[in-house]
Structure 1
Amino acid sequence: MKALYIASTGMAAQERNVEVISNNIANMRTTGYKRQRAEFQDLLYQSYRRAGSATSDAGTQVPVGIEIGSGVKLAATARIMTQGNVVPTEKDLDIAIRGEGFLTVALPDGRTAYTRDGTLERDATGLLVNVDGFQIEPGIIIPEDATAISISRDGIVEAYVGDETLPVQLGQIQLARFVNKGGLESIGDNLFVETGASGQAQIGFPGGEGMGSLIQGYLENANVNAVTEMADLIAAQRAYEMNARVISGADQMLQATAQLR
């Protein structure tokens, strides 16, 4: 009975849906995290009677055909790139991006990654890095005796160095933007890499067209809404239960058929 197999695809799809929702909930407190949404497609159809087929020699046609679907599949886990809430941290090297841009990060293997996580630190040489020690591009070194570090909305890093009475410009943080942000590939650690679907990174500076601006002393929270996720979770659970009921109903029908004498 095809209903068994059709319902099983529904259960498998909703299981994946729950996995996506649970990952969103798990990352509610992850800086710069962007929620995902499961998207589904129906599977192939078996056609018993095609719409538009002739029904007589006079040329009359069937207005509606007979098609039976074979279930559902997970088509994509789209990433929702909306802006998360910006919250204060009172830490000089924390920055939040308000707008479309991503910080550029140099990976040890030579690749460039991109992130919305503005939790920055200084390494042993004073180089500006992320929490994993990867360099924020372009390389900006903050001297050991630097005080009163400031990062402007345009990404310009300044500090009072030594006995200087005026702030010294140490560099400018760059940002990247993409034609299709949803096409970026997540590699964990709050990092993304570009793909053929995302298009090549367009590099610029904060304040440039479409790049967004920086806010010092703030971080961007995940854009996960707990109420929405719980509602989606309940809907996924109910859909799973209904598909399970279909399997149970199909089993009872088969049982009744097997008991015929």
Structure 2
Amino acid sequence: MGLGGALYAGVTGIRSHQSWLDVIGNNLSNINTYGYKSSRLLFSDLISQNKGSAGVNPMQIGMGVKVGSISSLFTQGTLEATNNEFDFAIQGNGFFVLNGGDKNFFSRVGTFATDSSNILVDSTSGYKVLDSAGKTITIPYGSTVSANATSSITLSGTLESTPSSSSGEVLLLSSALTVSGTAVESADAATTDLNALDTNTTDYKSYIAYAAGPPEVEEVKADTITISYTDPDGNSGSVEFTYGTADDGTTVADLLKFINKEAFGDTTGTADDGSAFAYLSENDNGKIIVESNTPGKDGLSLSISDKSTDTGTWSDYEFLASTYTTSTTIYDAQGTGRNVTLTFIKQDDGVWDMRASMDSKDGSFSTHEDKDGNTTADNNTIYNITFDDKGNLVSAGGDAYNADGDPVYNNTTLTFKFDGMTSSKNVTFNLGTSGDSDGIFQSGNGSSVTASDQDGSESGSFSSFSVDTDGTLSALYSNGTSSKIAQLQLATFGNIQGLRRSGDNLYEQTDSSGEPLYTVGGTGSAGDVYSGYLESSNVDMTSELTSLIMAQRGFQLNSRVITTADDVLSEAVNLKR
């Protein structure tokens, strides 16, 4: 090969390192290009000239270097927030799919916009973005949605387990009446003397009249119990129960009967006959309950105290109430919002009622016969919302009745008659899962119940759109509703290195890359889609500058080979002299 071999080898080295400089320069020039994937150049040696063999080893002289390959590095770039809703980035190996007319292109850069027809396009090339079905995507600017009547409302939050107010619609004794530690059930109230109660420190005395003659008996006055009350209208009063008299009696049941008749005005004293403003009874947990006969009025209060100073039965008890009120909006068929107040009234330990009410100008509730079939009542209450000792919901709707007066259990549907509407509207209240705390639950940390979700809405107009990580685009409307627009299509390839760059951050498939595998975000290796972000260039500046130094030195060394070979050739020419 002679001295010319060194010259040609140096030339190949200069050309190859020039190509490396070109690759490095292109990488550095695109260091701020969103979605750019850096290129890597690899050298390979040229065929070697055989000079024979020395022993067993061949003698060869290489003929220089060539560019072996230039490939793209598809490592993940950092996602940078742009706060532009039309910017999209992929965290994964997928590509956005763009239609260029006669073929598809693929891009890692989601710098999208809409054209004059509101079709989603790539802002640089103008190519149309495709959805999961391979169709173009239209952003529905100016679109509207019709109103939806409310049919279901989900409630969530807490109801306090311990009564805390001195007045309310229902009053519950703070602790149970017990005898030898056992709660006095309602069936035993008629045989349980007040003196037998565990909290009674000194027995009540019955009246004993003065008797003349020997032996003389001193007159003994009977002990009295004072009952103070306030009716739901705010009128206060008090009456006195005299222990041991024929009219008043001595048992727990006698005391309850006295209060019902003398304080609350119940003419029978045994059951609510419609003349009383409240009714007092005892449950099987040993607690006395006072219930108002005027739903919605919560000014009822009651206290029992011993007039005599040597007894302490009632000093340990209070009548307390728990009532919590919240509100929500229910929409009729025309999308008119009606404000509805929801009042939760504690009826017993772990038992609540929920009553709905609204202004008469907004409407009323349907009526039906009650369980006795002789009165009509508003169908506006969900009864017996019951919780277990852990505070989890057990059931709701017991003791509700349908239009025929038949019991309906676990019924949580109320019927509204909105003003201006000819037909009634049933609305189901979802209170949660039985045995769980995913809806309403009871706790000792106060009450806070809200309507967390509902399916009703007023009419609305398009305001913006949102994007899920699976690439689903949803239109958002002014009434708070949303609807799916489309789902972005992504593509993956068996050999991602086989893609060909087409400029404008686009790639084309080749025989080497294989056919694209079309998919959507969140599936396999395609990755997740993020709106308001762009993927930054993955060029490593430090690495590229180091390579730049290496390329420069390689270029210089190959130049020295050429000049040295030239000097040697000059000396050979001078031999003729």
- What TM-score range do you get, normalising by the shorter chain? over 0.9
Contact 2:466 2:476 in 1 (8 A): no
2:304 is aligned to none
2:470 is aligned to 154
Q: How far off its partner does 1:50 sit?
A: 4.2
Confirm or deny that 1:32 pairs with 2:35: yes
Q: How far off its partner does 1:236 sit?
A: 0.2
Q: How far off its partner does 1:164 sit?
A: 4.9
2:89 is aligned to 96
TM-score (norm 1): 0.92
1:66 is aligned to 59
1:81 partner SS: coil
Contact 2:107 2:506 in 1 (8 A): yes
Q: How far off its partner does 1:126 sit?
A: 1.2
1:56 is aligned to none
1:120 is aligned to 112
1:57 is aligned to none
1:29 partner SS: coil
TM-score (norm 2): 0.42
Q: Which moved more, 1:192-201 or 1:140-149?
A: 140-149
Mapped partners of 2:526, 2:476: distance in 1: 28
Confirm or deny that 1:175 pairs with 2:513: no
2:47 is aligned to 44
- The one-letter amino acid of 1:122's match is T
Mapped partners of 1:63, 1:84: distance in 2: 51
Contact 2:49 2:60 in 1 (8 A): yes
Mapped partners of 1:70, 1:219: distance in 2: 46
Confirm or deny that 1:14 pairs with 2:17: yes
- The one-letter amino acid of 1:222's match is S
Confirm or deny that 1:140 pairs with 2:137: yes
1:148 partner SS: strand
Mapped partners of 1:22, 1:44: distance in 2: 29
- The one-letter amino acid of 1:143's match is P
Contact 2:94 2:525 in 1 (8 A): yes
What is the aligned counterpart of 1:235 among 544, 550, 572? 550
Q: Any idea what the Cα deviations from partners look like across 1:101-159, whole Å, max 9, x if unmatched? A: 00000003x11000001111111111111112210112111111332311110000012
Q: Which 5+ residue runs of structure 1 have no aligned equivalent?
A: 52-61
Q: Any idea what the Cα deviations from partners look like across 1:36-74, whole Å, max 9, x if unmatched? A: 0111111111111247xxxxxxxxxx2322001111111
- The one-letter amino acid of 2:490's match is L
2:140 partner SS: coil
- The one-letter amino acid of 2:91's match is R
By relative contact order (CA 8 Å, sep 6+), the higher-ranking structure is 1
What does 1:163-242 correspond to in 2, within 5 Å? 164-242=479-557
Contact 2:472 2:487 in 1 (8 A): yes
Mapped partners of 2:25, 2:517: distance in 1: 33
- The one-letter amino acid of 2:563's match is S
Mapped partners of 1:164, 1:122: distance in 2: 24
Mapped partners of 2:98, 2:33: distance in 1: 18
Q: Which moved more, 1:143-152 or 1:224-233?
A: 143-152
2:110 partner SS: coil
- The one-letter amino acid of 1:77's match is I
Provide the aligned C-alpha RMSD in A: 1.2
Confirm or deny that 1:3 pairs with 2:6: yes
Q: Which moved more, 1:134-143 or 1:42-51?
A: 42-51
Mapped partners of 1:100, 1:170: distance in 2: 24
Identity within the alignment, %: 35
Q: How far off its partner does 1:257 sit?
A: 1.5
Mapped partners of 2:74, 2:463: distance in 1: 35
Mapped partners of 1:125, 1:143: distance in 2: 10
Contact 2:20 2:551 in 1 (8 A): yes
Confirm or deny that 1:248 pairs with 2:563: yes
- The one-letter amino acid of 2:14's match is M
Mapped partners of 1:50, 1:175: distance in 2: 57
Larger Rg: 2
Q: How far off its partner does 1:85 sit?
A: 1.0
Q: Any idea what the Cα deviations from partners look like across 1:228-261, whole Å, max 9, x if unmatched? A: 1111111000000000001111111111122224
1:160 partner SS: strand
- The one-letter amino acid of 1:85's match is T
The count of corresponding residues between Structure 1 and Structure 2 is 249
